[in-house]
Structure 1
Amino acid sequence: MTTAPATAAEALAGLARIRPAGWLATPMPADPDTLLARARQALAADHPGVDGTLRLVSARYTAAVFTVHQATGPLTLKLHADPIAYAGETLAYALLTGTATIPHLHAEGDSSLSLLLEHLPHPTDWSDAATPAVLAERIAAVHTASLRLPQYATEAMTEFSLAHLALAPAPAWIADATAWSDVLAAHHDAYGPALVPLGHLDLKPEHLRLRADGTVVLLDVETVRPDVTGLIDLVTLPAVYRQAGHEMHPAKVMDLYLNATAAHGASWTTSSLKAALRAFTAATGLQSLHGLDQ
């Protein structure tokens, strides 16, 4: 059995990078007091009526997350440092809300680059043997979300559909344009020309959370992009399962993904999915598929 890498990031070793270190001119401040002051400004500017005690949950180069403890119940406040990332996350919520199990979006704040989201403090129980299949289903729902959009949204996303991408130049980060064409053709066969190939979720065991009613929710869709396909998430799945305590044979991971995507309308076969993964490796410079293609 091929051993999964330790983390999802390690699973993507060799993948083409398009952003150098220090790419963001005005990153999120590191000082907690400065961050809290910015959060208060965001609430005042873009979210009138939302007030309460703020607690900093996490801070990264590009974003910071806070809990807003108010009398009517807590909310999550997310601040972006990068306008493009903010626009990408608002687009992701527009595409995924109603088509995938993700946090509820309560409000957007364009001037402060902020989002008010459902507060989900409870982690999923990874000791449950069914949880790996639940994660696969949640991922498949994201990957196929564009097939379930209302007509106006489908029309708005036409330029990102497989029908359009097949005629467009390969993205700048692609190393082999011919192999990329093979990736798109495989997706066309599996999903049809209307699919927008969403992928690149920030997959971690802790990003599966529970609502009070027991619903499993997939956190953090800010990195989802309509130009990488869901194969990037499949490659990271063995590492995510391993981190969560489920050492899993690559063939089992493939079966979980095949079953989950089939339930959402895909027509992958084991052989066509493996061929797409090999083409994805050639197109992107990925070093290893960690046994998924064997």
Structure 2
Amino acid sequence: MTAGPATAAEALAGLARTRPPGWLAAPMPTDPVALLQRARQALAADHPDVNGKVSVIRARYTAGVLAVHQPEGSLVLKLHADAAAYAGETLAYALLAGVAPVARLYAEGEDSLSLLLEYLPAPAEWSRPHMATVLADCVAAVHTASLRLPEEAAEAMAAFSLSTLRKVPAPAWIYNPAAYDEVLAAHVDAYGPALVPLGHLDLKPEHLRRRSDGDVVLLDVESVRPDVTGLIDLITLPAVLRQAGHELSAARVLGLYLDATAARGAGWTAGSLKNALRAYAAATGLESLHGLDR
């Protein structure tokens, strides 16, 4: 088998869009001391009932992630530097809660652009042989989540359904609108016109965590969008699995995804999914499908 890319990001060569300099007006502090101060301010402003020792997990200019350690159980505090990213993540959790295996969202803070999330320090047990199937199942659950939304949520997201997306111009980042319409048409055939095509998970081995009861869930859904389709995640799956120590052929990965989505109502065939992948590459400028279309 031909060796594939080392990381999921490299798997998407040609698709990435570089943000212009200065796109973020007020970056999050990356100095841990300054981030801790920002966290204390956020807790006081929007989460006054949450107390405990705060420690930094990750400090990036786009978002800071911290743990709040409490006797009754720790929480994750996530601070966004960008209001749009905060709004997108809260929407993603609202859509996925109860219908996909993602971390629990406990509280939001609009003034501080903060989220209080489930604390999941235990990584997934990647040494177990069935983990490739588990990952495919988790991803498929997100991609098909809109098929299981409560009626009120489904009505609220109707503007992002496949039937609506096919009537409006393609997003600005699409190179080939005609090919993009082929992608959407393939999804209509597989799921029906009411699907909201959620996709663009930030997939990496460390973002799969294990609860104390053994359930495996996905972390970090801030990048999920209702207009990218799940094909972007399928393309990264072989690289993510390789990083986690599971060398699977492209055909095997495609088969796992077909099985996982079929179990949740999809009507893909191997042929229709491969055709959709080729159209997606043409629409987005993606350089390689890493054998998934063969």
- For the aligned pair, the TM-score class normalised by the smaller chain equals over 0.9
1:19 deviates by 2.6
Q: Distance in 2 between matches of 1:19 and 1:33?
A: 27
Contact 1:16-1:284 at 8 Å conserved across structures: no
Q: Distance in 2 between matches of 1:267 and 1:32?
A: 48
Deviations 1:190-232 (A, max 9, x none): 0000000000000000111110000001111110001110000
Report the equivalent of 1:128: 128
Report the equivalent of 1:72: 72
Return the letter of the residue paired with 2:221.
V
**Aligned residue runs from structure 1 range 194-273, under 5 A:** 194-273=194-273
Check 1:78–1:23 CA distance in 2 against 1; reply closer, same or farther (3 A cut): same
Q: Is 1:109 matched up with 2:128? A: no
CA RMSD across the alignment: 0.9
Check 1:18–1:172 CA distance in 2 against 1; reply closer, same or farther (3 A cut): farther
Contact 2:31-2:59 at 8 Å conserved across structures: no
Return the letter of the residue paired with 2:180.
W
Return the letter of the residue paired with 2:81.
A
Report the equivalent of 2:24: 24
Report the equivalent of 2:43: 43
Higher RCO, Cα 8 Å, sep 6+: 1
Report the equivalent of 1:60: 60
Q: Is 1:84 matched up with 2:81? A: no
Return the letter of the residue paired with 1:95.
L
1:89 deviates by 0.1
1:21 deviates by 4.1
Q: Distance in 2 between matches of 1:209 and 1:187?
A: 29
1:247 deviates by 0.9
1:2 deviates by 3.0
Return the letter of the residue paired with 1:228.
V
Return the letter of the residue paired with 2:31.
D
Report the equivalent of 1:155: 155
Q: Percent identity?
A: 70
Q: Is 1:4 matched up with 2:4? A: yes
Return the letter of the residue paired with 2:288.
S
Return the letter of the residue paired with 2:70.
Q
Q: Distance in 2 between matches of 1:263 and 1:218?
A: 19
Check 1:18–1:226 CA distance in 2 against 1; reply closer, same or farther (3 A cut): farther
Counterpart of 2:115 in 1: which secondary structure? strand
1:27 deviates by 1.2
Check 1:258–1:21 CA distance in 2 against 1; reply closer, same or farther (3 A cut): farther
1:22 deviates by 3.5
Deviations 1:46-66 (A, max 9, x none): 012100000000011210100
1:23 deviates by 1.7
Deviations 1:168-193 (A, max 9, x none): 10000000000000000000000000
Contact 1:16-1:174 at 8 Å conserved across structures: no
Moved more, 86-95 or 66-75: 66-75
Gaps of 5+ in 1: none
Counterpart of 1:234 in 2: which secondary structure? helix
Q: Distance in 1 between matches of 2:71 and 2:215?
A: 24
Q: Is 1:279 matched up with 2:279? A: yes
Q: Distance in 2 between matches of 1:255 and 1:98?
A: 26
Counterpart of 2:196 in 1: which secondary structure? coil
Aligned residues: 294
Report the equivalent of 1:178: 178
Q: Distance in 2 between matches of 1:17 and 1:65?
A: 24
Q: Distance in 1 between matches of 2:262 and 2:185?
A: 18
